Each structure stands twice: as C-alpha cells, then as structure tokens.
Amino acid sequence: MSKFRFAKTSTSAAVAAMLLGACSTSKVSQATAPTSAAASSTSTSTGVSASSAPASSVKVTIAGGDYLGGAPAYIASAKSMWASNGLQAHVANFATGVLALNALLGGQANFAFVADLPIATALLNKRGLVIDANLSKFSQWLLLTTKSSGVNSFASLKGKKIGVPVGTNAEYVLDQMLVSVGLSLSSITVVNLAPAQIVPAIQRGDIAAGVTFPTFYTAAQTILGSSYQELTYSGYAEHTVLLSAPGTPAATVERVLRTLISADNYIASNPAAAASAIAAQSGGADSVSFVSSYLPKYAQKVDLLSGLPALLVAEGQWLNSTQGVGGSLNQATVVSAMDSTALSAVDATRVSLP
C-alpha cells in the first residue's frame, strides 16, 4: 500500500538538507586544555561572560535536544558539577536533536548530544563530527492506539493508517515493529504527522495508531482516557550520543566525560532529586511526574561499545532504502568517526570497539 505524505519530500531528506546546509559562521572559540582545575559557575540559560571566567577555566558550549537522553548534562548543570573539572559549560537546549547537531556542525557548539539516526544521516553525508561516547539507551517504545481501533498486535497494523513523524527515530521504530512480524512500511498507510499531532489524530479516529516520542506518552493516557491502549516494543534501543567538533582537545573531552560520569552516579544514587532537577532544567517542558516515570527507562551510562557502530550501519542502510538518503556506511567508516582516546583515559573499562 502506498504511503500517504503531508509533504512531497521525506523528513529524512529534509534532515539531510539541514545537515548539509549547516553554516560555519558565528563560531564559538575552540576549547583549549585548562592550566588549572579551577572554574567558575555553570549556566544553562545564558552564556557566562568572559569577565566572570577565570583565565584557567575552559569555556564550552554543549548543544542538546532531549532532557532524558542527555540527563547527565542537565544534572551536571543543576548540581554545579562542571566547575570541579575545570569547565565553564553552557548547555544550550534545542527543540530537536537535528538542530542541536546543526549547532555543532555550524560551529556554534563544541559538543552536542544527539540521538543516533541524525548522526547516521550526517555520516552518510560525510559531515565532520567526532563520536566521543554514548550517554544513554531507551528501548521502551510504545505504539499508541485505542481499544476500538482493531489494533491488538503489530500484525494487525496491516492495511491501516498509522501516524508517525516521517524520517525520525519514531518511523524507524515503526518499521522495526512491522519487520518483527514480517511486514514493512509498504504494508500500511503512513500518515506524516508532527510528534504532538499523533495523539489528537488517534482520538479523532483519523489514524488507527501512532508512534511518537516518549514525551507524549503520559499525555496520551490522559487524552485517550478509558479507550487508551498501548503495545510495547523493545527491539530497538535509541542511543543518545555525545559528539564533539573535530579538533577539540582530548583534555577538554576528558573533563566533559568525567563530569558526565559524576552526573550518572548522582542520578543512580538520587533518582527523586535528579528527576526534580531535570524537570526544573526543562523549564516546564517535562513534568516531575513524567521524568520520575521515564528516567529509569533510559539506561544511563557513559560508554563506547561495539553495538553503536552496528546500529549506525543498520540505520544508514534504512535511510538509503526507505528515505532516499544517498551515501553508504560500513563498520570501518563509523568506527573511524569515533575517538575513544578521551574515554579510555578516563576509564578504559567503558570502551569496547571492534
């Protein structure tokens, strides 16, 4: 069955264009290795003026687009952890991971934490970036539907209208749900909707089911009420990955990684306080109840393991075949974009690459 689109070009093609068009103007200064461990306070809402920063501290901008996937960065800011490693960090939040990635590619950020699919797109387009570590993994994806929809298994999706933001990780999840029962995206009618439009479309009966991002899961239960129904899929773990700009000193990357590991430890030891801090950092985008419910479902650990190259290669092939993105990825290409030097120096047990 042919796909239904609200736009003539797929979102992945648009993502590729955005990545290719990322400019190189307005660059932040390159981070340099500090001469002292001393640093001033951290800011997540505004940049810190040069006059307030000790000459020995390193100023870095970290772009991000997911409060839970990148939770360690927000905890590090909320709990003033950056300074202990000689950093003055500004964590800049963006509406999407693609925009955060573009900030890195365009020179407006030294680091970014981004989900895996935009990274695969950037690698296909031979964009310059360095993969320093994985921060978290999320695999508790939901297919949202209603009890009256006739959708009670992934196999029952065949022939139905399914809403999803096309070209995103959510569409990749939907495809994997279908593949798990011998179907494909061509087996359904794909309705291209923004993430926030999925649940209202289900409620109206415009679509039988939908896949959107976890931020909207609790709202779906409220909006759909007693008719709410979900199917869980755990066959795909979305990775939130820390990237750096090429040329960033290894000593600076080490300091960032040490801080993020300390934040990981804080989350594990103080889950309730961490949830409150992340919700506060989000400025109302995520409630304390949502963060408390879903933060434990994000496997938080700073590492760099062999599963990430394999995932990016698989996603590259998916982008080629379903989204029309050119280029090719193989394990050697992906591994060449990784630099384990800094993480190995911090904790070699966290690194295991092919």
The answer to whether 167 touches 323, Cβ cutoff 8 Å, is: yes
The Cα–Cα gap between 284 and 219 comes to 14
Question: In the listed set 233, 253, 279, which residue is the last one of a domain according to the structure?
Answer: 233
Same domain, 310 and 293: yes
Q: Which residues of 221-242 are buried (b: 16+ CB within 10 A; e: fewer)?
A: eeebeeebbebebeebbbbbbb
The lowest-confidence range among 11-15, 136-140, 171-175 is 11-15
pLDDT exceeds cutoff 70 at 98? yes
Same domain, 174 and 127: no
The Cα–Cα gap between 83 and 309 comes to 32
Same domain, 191 and 258: no
Q: Give residue 307's domain range.
A: 12-138+238-352
pLDDT exceeds cutoff 50 at 23? no
Write down the pLDDT at residue 49. Answer: 32
Q: How confident is the model at residue 96 (pLDDT cuts 50, 70, 90)?
A: confident
CA nearest neighbour of 126 among 19, 221, 285, 2:
19
pLDDT exceeds cutoff 70 at 57? yes
In three-state secondary structure terms, 89 is: strand
Hey, what are 60's tokens?
């870095």
Write down the pLDDT at residue 56. Answer: 76
Q: Answer whether residue 3 is part of any domain.
A: no
Mean pLDDT along residues 93-105? 92
Q: Answer whether residue 24 is part of any domain.
A: yes
Q: What is the CATH number of the domain that holds 244?
A: 3.40.190.10
The Cα–Cα gap between 195 and 209 comes to 13
Mean pLDDT along residues 90-103? 92
The answer to whether 242 touches 173, Cβ cutoff 8 Å, is: no
Same domain, 133 and 254: yes
The answer to whether 3 touches 185, Cβ cutoff 8 Å, is: yes
Strands, DSSP E only, in 203-297?
A: 209-210, 228-233, 238-244
Mean pLDDT along residues 241-252? 97
Write down the pLDDT at residue 285. Answer: 84
Q: What's the whole-model pTM score?
A: 0.84
Mean pLDDT for the chain?
87
Same domain, 33 and 128: yes
Same domain, 120 and 56: yes
Question: What count of Cα atoms within 13 Å lies in the side-chain half-sphere of residue 172?
Answer: 30
Q: How confident is the model at residue 65 (pLDDT cuts 50, 70, 90)?
A: confident
Q: Answer whether residue 125 is part of any domain.
A: yes
Which are the contacts of 257, defined by CB distance < 8 A and separation ≥ 6? 132, 133, 242, 302, 342, 343, 346
* CA 195 from centroid of its chain's CA atoms: 15
Partners of 36 in beta bridges: none
Q: Answer whether residue 144 is part of any domain.
A: yes
pLDDT exceeds cutoff 70 at 338? yes
Mean pLDDT along residues 187-192? 97
- Which residue, chain included where needed, has tokens 């991971």? 97
Write down the pLDDT at residue 284. Answer: 83
Question: In the listed set 213, 233, 253, which residue is the last one of a domain according to the structure?
Answer: 233
Number of structural domains (the chain) is: 2
Same domain, 288 and 338: yes
Same domain, 306 and 184: no
Same domain, 221 and 328: no
pLDDT digit string, tens, across residues 216-232: 999 999 999 999 999 99
pLDDT exceeds cutoff 80 at 64? yes
Among 27-36, 70-79, 282-291, the range with the most confident prediction by mean pLDDT is 70-79
Q: Answer whether residue 21 is part of any domain.
A: yes
Write down the pLDDT at residue 3. Answer: 35
Same domain, 61 and 84: yes
Hey, what are 249's tokens?
């000193």
Q: Answer whether residue 182 is part of any domain.
A: yes
